[in-house]
Amino acid sequence: MAFTLSSSPHDHVPLNTATLMRRVCYCLIPGILVQWWFFGWGSLVQIALAVTTAYAAEALVLALRKRRFAPLRDNSALLTALLIGIAVPPLAPWWLVVIGTAFAIIVAKQLYGGLGQNLFNPAMVAYVLLLVSFPLPMTSWLPPLALQTYPPGLLDSLSAIFTGFTLDGFAPHQLRELADGTTMATPLDTLKTGFTQGHTSGEILAGPAFGGMAGVGWQWVNLAYLAGGLALLRLRLISWPIPVAMLGTLFLLGLVGFMVSPDGSIGPMMHLFSGATMLGAFFIATDPVSASTTFRGRLVYGALIGLLIYLIRTFGGYPDAVAFAVLLANMTVPMIDSLTKPKTYGEAR
């Protein structure tokens, strides 16, 4: 029986990278299916485009760097592509998701040295790039299919994505019109616009986009990503401090803000179950490469993201704010880790 010597740290890792990434992708499936149910085939088409682009871009960079193609099998490119495909509006033009995914893989990931070397979450870097560069198509989300006058099918979605028009000649902006002729944005965007026009939250929430906790369709999408996030916790693929600190901080700030100004602020449930809140809490903020690594640091990191989301949604110009909050928090990770690292055994306190 051989006796093997190895250097510290002696950490037992039951899963390799490919298996871990694949299981995270599995946990995204409930949210993707619910998103498809409420917003149509466009979301699946965008995901397919993102996955194809991600693997092509990664293969190209590996070939240029004269490296083996083994990293293609670690499923990290697949996870990045899924997150970008989810975040892009269903009928956005095809080149939008291609540009974003290629930038995420080539610049935000590979130029930093590949998996494990990136300072920022690649999917969020791509999303912010697209949002700043192409704000109109990136904010042109369709209303849920049940509220649409002309809900597109698979062929209509393919035609709109690749040509700009459905088979019947409708442009994506025409599909955003509701049965009463009004044009709908996302619930968070609708609230932001309504507040700037002097409407109260009660008046805005009486619109057709809202119902239940946080808006037709969006609340169920967030519940599905919450279910996937709980599965991540159950499988011990992520730890609880970041999502709990982020969601808890966002809920408390939303509650205080609503108590102070109920007619001019978003309620806590709207904060939690609209936009990309649950997706961000469990699948984006918990990225092991760009997040804090200490226990106390993860609590601070998650709370900081929750605080930034609330501040940007309340006082900034971007209604969702998850991507900006995560990237800003990524910048603070070295300092957070240095201030929260545990004492070495035997070190004077």
Task: Please name the residues in contact with 317: beta carbons below 8 A apart, sequence gap of 6 or more.
Answer: none
Q: What span, in angstroms and rounded, lies between the C-alpha atoms of 161 and 94?
A: 5
Q: Are 19 and 235 in contact (CB under 8 A)?
A: no
For residue range 318-330, what is the model confidence (pLDDT) as tens digits?
Answer: 888 899 999 999 9
The pLDDT of residue 47 is above 90: yes
With pLDDT > 70 as the criterion, what percentage of the chain qualifies?
A: 89
202: left (phi over 0), alpha (psi -120 to 50) or beta: alpha
pLDDT tier at 251 (50, 70, 90 boundaries)?
Answer: very high
Q: Would you call 328 exposed, middle or buried from its count of C-beta atoms within 10 A (0-12, 13-18, 19+)?
A: middle
Mean pLDDT of 36-54: 95
Handedness of CA 71, 74, 75, 76 (dihedral sign): negative
pLDDT at 249: 97
For residue range 147-178, what is the model confidence (pLDDT) as tens digits?
Answer: 777 888 899 999 999 998 988 888 887 777 65
The pLDDT of residue 9 is above 70: no
Mean pLDDT of 288-306: 93
pLDDT at 114: 79
